[in-house]
Amino acid sequence: MEKENTSEVEAFRDMLALQGKLFLIRGDLPANKVELQFEGVLNGVSVVWHACVRTIEEYSLHNPVSDDPEQYINIEVVNERYKLEVGLNVSQIDLSVLESTIIMIRKYKRLRLGYHEYGVRSKTE
């Protein structure tokens, strides 16, 4: 899988270079939910993240949440695709929020598979 992943990462880098972009966004900004792709690292291996960044409000429309929901990150590998979902306590997802989220994911060295919550809502508003 690592060899296949390397070729996917290289192809993605080439595509970004041709388009003059640092990441790909599906849809328009600002939004409550944004799908995007960007390069990152998981367990020391370069990957292409197939990501979804959404507001906690948008998440709560489709999922049960507590009165004081936490932000979260969920990482899965599905059919050799690296899927990343991040729920943030922001009113909307704009370019600044996306760029900050990408930087956070790229800098965090202890990313691991699974669902992880952090920062209760009342502490992040």
Structural contact between residues 38 and 23, judged by C-beta atoms closer than 8 angstroms = yes
Token couple for 61: 């429309």
From CA 40, how far away is CA 46, in angstroms rounded?
6
Q: What is the pTM of this model?
A: 0.87
From CA 83, how far away is CA 105, in angstroms rounded?
12
Amino acid at 44: G
Residue 110 has a pLDDT of 87
Domain range annotation of the chain: 2-124
Token couple for 14: 């080439």
Mean pLDDT of the chain: 89
Could you report the per-residue pLDDT of 86-113, keeping only the tens digit for each? Answer: 999 999 999 999 999 999 999 988 899 9
From CA 59, how far away is CA 78, in angstroms rounded?
21
Could you report the per-residue pLDDT of 41-93, keeping only the tens digit for each? Answer: 999 999 999 999 999 999 888 887 777 778 999 999 999 899 999 999 999 99
